[in-house]
Chain A
Amino acid sequence: MAAQGSVVQKEMLTAGAHYMDPPIVNIQLAQDLLDVCRSMSLWPMTFGLACCAIEMMATGMARFDMARFGAEVFRPSPRQADVMIVAGTVTKKMAPAVVRLYEQMPGPKWVISMGNCAISGGPFKIKDNYNVIEGVDTLIPVDVYVPGCPPRPEGLLEGFFQLQRLITGKRWWPVAAEVKG
């Protein structure tokens, strides 16, 4: 469970702070195998907060086709999901709902913070800001940050690759060739 351990501990709103009990029978090979299975069938939650959600939808649709990487099953319930993509601006009013959704997800679970707003408050991180949470990682532990305003679907896919690398310790997909000229 490399990903779970990699999270920097902060003062979180969530009870238990992302903690999972170790398995009763711990066989490393079986755990590794399970991790590969988990990373190849990530089920994100259908959950968008702002314009980043549009890019998230595009990532799931035919052109960018997240299904190729095993993550197309957007679940309408947190109880069936294991990845939360925080796609958009988290307002103060929305924050309790985000935390509740996170807590309702069964472990092991991961969080992708998508876009500048979710990472740091983005354009709302100003002096007179009164209702935007400056970084969703002040509420829940975040595993992968995907910057952009909003990030391209390729960016989100790359975030998923990164998450798979965190879970299994290996990048599974070829790196895109650099385009010249």
Chain B
Amino acid sequence: MLQLLEGIPTQCVAKQDKVSTGRAWSVFLAPAQIVKTARKLYEAEYSLEDVFALDIEEGFLVLYHFNRWNVDERVVLRVLISKDNPTIPSIASIFDGAEWHERETRDFHGVNFEGNPNLVPLLMCVEDVDFHPLLKTDKKRKQIKDLLNLGEVVSCNKEIEALFAEAEAEVASDA
């Protein structure tokens, strides 16, 4: 996995506890890097499991799960985008199947996938094109550190570390 990511500026790479998360690696990326990373994973014979978004206080966290049949190494790519301009490049040109996943994510969260060839509602009816049912209310919305833990960090930049900082401090104080 680490070899694959060589040459891609990642925000944070971390090993995950497989038992509790079901994933081997977690990679935070900038929106601009997602297409390049997806291409690398495609060349390494990864398959796309799903694409979806989380509505959190920091913005939308768009998740891409990848898996491989011959090696048990499930990878999640995480891209944090802002609420003001929820736009992210589409990977439908690399994984054809991503087209529908992206359309579903657009339906439910209003994330705009730039370059998706047919970004019309998939599950919602056409009248509800501007209605996104899975957007949370302020009261229900949570911070990223309450939902995820960073895992065993390999490399991480300050921004992502800062998002999780308090949670780790709390854990430390508990200990």
The total of Cβ contacts below 8 Å across the A-B interface reads 19
The 8 A CB mask of B110-136 against A (1 = contact, 0 = none) is 000000000000011101100101000
Instruction: Name the residue on B nearest A93 (C-beta).
Output: B125
Q: What mask results when residues 123 to 156 of chain B are scored 1 for a CB within 8 Å of chain A, else 0?
A: 1110110010100000000000000000000000
Most buried by A among B125, B127, B133: B125
Contact residues, A77-96 vs B (CB, 8 A): 91-93, 95
Residues of A within 8 A of B123 (CB): 93, 131
* Main SS class of interface, B: loop
**Dominant secondary structure at the A interface:** loop
A128 interface residue, CB < 8 Å from B? yes
Q: From A91, A95, A130, give the contact of B133 (CB < 8 A).
A: A130
Q: How far is the CA of A130 from the CA of B124 in the complex (A)?
A: 9
Residues of A within 8 A of B128 (CB): 92, 130-131
Q: In the complex, which of the residues A93, A95, A128 contacts B124, with contact meaning CB atoms closer than 8 Å?
A: A93
Seed contacts A92-B128, A93-B123, A130-B128; 16 additional CB < 8 Å A-B pairs: A91-B125, A92-B124, A92-B125, A92-B127, A93-B124, A93-B125, A95-B125, A128-B133, A130-B124, A130-B131, A130-B133, A131-B123, A131-B124, A131-B125, A131-B128, A131-B133
A–B Cβ pairs within 8 angstroms, 19 of them: A91-B125, A92-B124, A92-B125, A92-B127, A92-B128, A93-B123, A93-B124, A93-B125, A95-B125, A128-B133, A130-B124, A130-B128, A130-B131, A130-B133, A131-B123, A131-B124, A131-B125, A131-B128, A131-B133
